[in-house]
Amino acid sequence: MTKRASTIQDVADKAKVSIKTVSRVINNEPNVAIKTVKKVETAIKQLEYQPNAFAQSLARSKPKIISLIYDTPSPNYISHIMEGVLSFCYKAGYEVIIHPLRFNEIGMLRSAEQFIKKSRLAGLIVTPPHSDNIEFIKLIEKLDLPKVLISSGLDLDQSDCIKTNDEEISIEMTNYLIKSGHRKIAFIKGHPTHLSVNQRFIGFQKAMKDANINIDNSLVENGLNSLLSGEQCAERLLNLSNRPTAIFASNDEMAAGVIKVAYKKGIRIPDDLSVVGFDDSPMTEMITPPLTTVRQPLDAIGEKSAQKLIDKLEDRDISHESIIKSEIIFRESVTRLH
Amino acid sequence: MTKRASTIQDVADKAKVSIKTVSRVINNEPNVAIKTVKKVETAIKQLEYQPNAFAQSLARSKPKIISLIYDTPSPNYISHIMEGVLSFCYKAGYEVIIHPLRFNEIGMLRSAEQFIKKSRLAGLIVTPPHSDNIEFIKLIEKLDLPKVLISSGLDLDQSDCIKTNDEEISIEMTNYLIKSGHRKIAFIKGHPTHLSVNQRFIGFQKAMKDANINIDNSLVENGLNSLLSGEQCAERLLNLSNRPTAIFASNDEMAAGVIKVAYKKGIRIPDDLSVVGFDDSPMTEMITPPLTTVRQPLDAIGEKSAQKLIDKLEDRDISHESIIKSEIIFRESVTRLH
DNA sequence: AATTTATAAGACAGCGTTGTCACTTATAGC
DNA sequence: GCTATAAGTGACAACGCTGTCTTATAAATT
């Protein structure tokens, strides 16, 4: 008894048809007699046959393989995006290669190019911060590869992007703080190269302007998306004589930093200070108090990206909605001011 | 100008040698004149040639492709393991396919079999909880596929496993609590099907026995690895008249649940109650107080797994150390009792 | 110098599919 | 009932590489 996996030839022999006919059945091609289809399907089942994906890729002009390119954002972010991408691709019969690419590494572009060529990819899904990297986008275009960029801050063809409504939801969040009676609202910006994160600040500004509240520049801090940078910003903010009553951090980690510092200083949350974050990372429920934040449907973003890319690859209509809406998750870190 | 990626034939033409010679250069085979190697390498560089991984896989008997099988454990866990696996495989010239597999889904085994056959994998790296699933392991063995199981609680050949010293480090952690003066120590067990997590309880028991401390059964709770289950266990534990002075939770999420409940009840940590967790997930630094916990070097585990698998595939010696040591990360959630 | 051996390079088949084209057999049209 | 068309099937090359075998050349041995 051989352990060799069965091939299309085995199926053909068993069903007493040609290889090509088996191939037709596998790929749902027309013009095969129903009787033949049945015969072949039985043989496939008996042999537990599965087509060899690499041979298929080689024989087809376009291999059914795409790649998800990421750097090292939060594990939570990437693993949920991945989940969505994988689940859609699996259904659509595509293989996915997950590929990490270090943003600042020298030779990053070259290694990316090597990877893409070697794998003969059909298309690419790119997550931030790479989706903001013009050099990288140019490379993809040079290689003439279909792509979908997630949350790119770049001004690109709509058909290449999946966006979130960061600006809009930040307006909503800011309005929520304003409606809760807050006027002295501080904002902690995100990492400067992370363009889409900066949409959040723009939303904040707009909402403040619409409410006719001046933004005090000393209440705007530049964070780096990390816990530590959140702590540092909070340190400055909370030492101010004109201390804010609410802080809007561009992501949850920085918000957690704020809460830590506040705790250390004996500032109670939400009683003395309201804090909101962005991302709804798992720890928002674990800290005290649970953090009010914005949830992006990451799985859905992943799925939509995959769908969009595959639709492109198969020359299908790509009129799908490309903006995926986030929602505010109200928890316990905000108080209403009297 | 065609966008077609260059092939080995193009390189051969340009270097004025045969295809086979180019192949030899690519694969570092012996018996090629230095002059020829140089010619070929120049041609490769000029054409920016990269071998087609799928054609290689097809032509070789063993494709250089492995898969990392996971369920849906914490994003943090899987993304760090993945990091290690990818980085090693990348260096070794292997491609990795990340494959999610839902533990409880009906037809899971069949879909796993399909996937493995279709991709003609060279080998498999399996994370918990699949590494504890006998049916799944049997399937892999039936398919005659080399494998490395991460943190399997099953009694398997040493050469197939990468283990962590959960029991040993739990003994250490327990001893630390004991040395800090704690006697009434509660333990929250992990998910029952997650065998390796249960090693943690065994370590706890041993340490208590060695210290001649009786384990009060009412201080042993059955958790489910989730925040919520941690809260539920804590609720019971902290309502006890004979309340513990320290709680050892089998993972960080449950420890966070304990801290939340304690906070609600006005029990101060660490002053009134010491809490330790396990895993060193990112949020341990974000909660107040920062949690004392056990760090498993996940990236290293991933790397070692990949190394072990690839060594097997290439018939190399696999005498590597297979137990990867964790360490206690001391933070602020434990107090010394006077 | 003649013969063995090592080194270098190529020819050719094969990996497991799909695409193209040609062929045979039904079905339809008049 | 005879041709035009469609439906069903297969032969064969191709995809881009590697393995095996062969041949040509250089080096080593006697």
The pLDDT tens digits of the residues spanning A170-196 come to: 999 999 999 999 999 999 999 998 888
Within 8 A by CB and 6+ apart from A176, the residues are: A328, A334
Contact status, residue B338 vs residue B177, Cβ threshold 8 Å: no
Going along B52-177, which residue ranges are E strands?
Answer: 65-70, 95-100, 123-126, 147-150, 161-164
Retrieve residue A195's tokens: 């363009």
Of A51, A253, A287, the CB nearest to B287: A287
Report if CB B56 to strand D is under 7 Å: yes
Which of A65-69, B62-66, B224-228 is predicted most confidently?
B224-228
Strands of the B95-100 sheet, one edge to the other? B95-100, B65-70, B123-126, B147-150, B161-164, B323-324
**Over 50: is that where the pLDDT of B264 sits?**
yes
Question: Looking at CA atoms only, how far is residue A199 from chain B in angstroms?
Answer: 25
**Over 80: is that where the pLDDT of B214 sits?**
yes
Q: What CA–CA distance (Å, rounded) separates B46 from A155?
A: 33
Instruction: For residue A74, give Cα distances in angstroms to A49, A81, A249, A335.
Output: 39, 11, 16, 29
Protein residues with beta carbon less than 7 Å from any atom of strand C: A 4-5, 7-9, 19-20, 23, 26-27, 49-52, 55-56, 58-61; B 16-21, 30-33, 35-36, 55, 58-59
Retrieve residue B98's tokens: 């990340």
A317 CA to C22 C1' in angstroms comes to 35
**Over 50: is that where the pLDDT of B2 sits?**
no
Contact status, residue A312 vs residue A123, Cβ threshold 8 Å: yes
**Residue contact B288–A285, C-beta within 8 A:** no
Burial (0-12, 13-18, 19+ Cβ within 10 Å), A106: exposed
What is the SS3 assignment for A201?
A: helix
Indicate the angle between helix axes B75-92 and B298-313, nearest 10 degrees.
40
pLDDT of residue B115: 84
pLDDT of residue B99: 84
The residues spanned by each domain of chain A are 8-51, 166-296
**Residue (of B232, B254, B252, B248) closest to B187 by Cα position:** B248
Cβ-count burial A272-287 (b if 16+ within 10 Å, e if not): ebbbbbbbbbbbbbbb
pLDDT class of A330 with cuts at 50, 70, 90: very high
**Residue contact B118–A55, C-beta within 8 A:** no
pLDDT digits (tens, 9 = 90+) for A40-91: 999 999 998 989 888 998 898 778 888 999 987 678 999 999 999 999 988 8
Report if CB B18 to strand D is under 7 Å: no
In CATH terms, A8-51 corresponds, of 3.30.70.1350, 3.30.230.10, 1.10.260.40, 3.10.450.710, to 1.10.260.40
Report if CB B36 to strand D is under 7 Å: no
Strands of the A161-164 sheet, one edge to the other? A95-100, A65-70, A123-126, A147-150, A161-164, A323-324
Name the residue type at position B72.
T
Contact status, residue A69 vs residue A82, Cβ threshold 8 Å: no
Nucleotide nearest to A11 (CA to C1'): C16
Nucleotide nearest to A18 (CA to C1'): D10
Residue A332, chain B, CB below 8 Å: the answer is: no
**Residue (of B274, B236, B247) closest to B188 by Cα position:** B247
Residue B228, chain A, CB below 8 Å: the answer is: no
Domain pair B8-51 / B166-296, same fold: no
pLDDT of residue A336: 96
Question: Looking at CA atoms only, how far is residue A252 from chain B in angstroms?
Answer: 10
Q: What CA–CA distance (Å, rounded) separates B108 from B136?
A: 9
Instruction: For residue B135, give Cα distances in angstroms to B72, B115, B129, B130, B138.
Output: 18, 16, 12, 9, 5
Residue B54, chain A, CB below 8 Å: the answer is: yes
What is the DSSP track for B181-231? T--SEEEEE--TT-HHHHHHHHHHHHHHHHTT-PPPGGGEEE--SSHHHHH
What is the SS3 assignment for B257?
A: helix
Residue B66, chain A, CB below 8 Å: the answer is: no
Give mean pLDDT, residues B226-252. 97
A74 CA to D17 C1' in angstroms comes to 39
pLDDT digits (tens, 9 = 90+) for B137-186: 999 998 888 999 999 988 888 888 999 999 999 999 999 999 999 999 99
- Half-sphere exposure of A247 toward its Cβ, with a 13 Å CA cutoff? 39
B254 CA to C22 C1' in angstroms comes to 69
- How many Cβ contacts (< 8 angstroms) between chains A and B? 126
B57 CA to C4 C1' in angstroms comes to 39
Show which positions of strand D are touched by protein (CB under 7 A). 7-12, 14-20
Of B96, B100, B283, the CB nearest to A286: B283
pLDDT digits (tens, 9 = 90+) for A276-317: 999 999 999 999 999 999 999 999 999 999 999 998 888 777
Question: Looking at CA atoms only, how far is residue A234 from chain B in angstroms?
Answer: 14
Q: Which CATH architecture has domain B166-296?
A: 3-Layer(aba) Sandwich (3.40)
DSSP 8-state code for residue A284: G
Retrieve residue B209's tokens: 């026995």
Least-confidence region, from A279-283, B192-196, B205-209, B230-234: B192-196
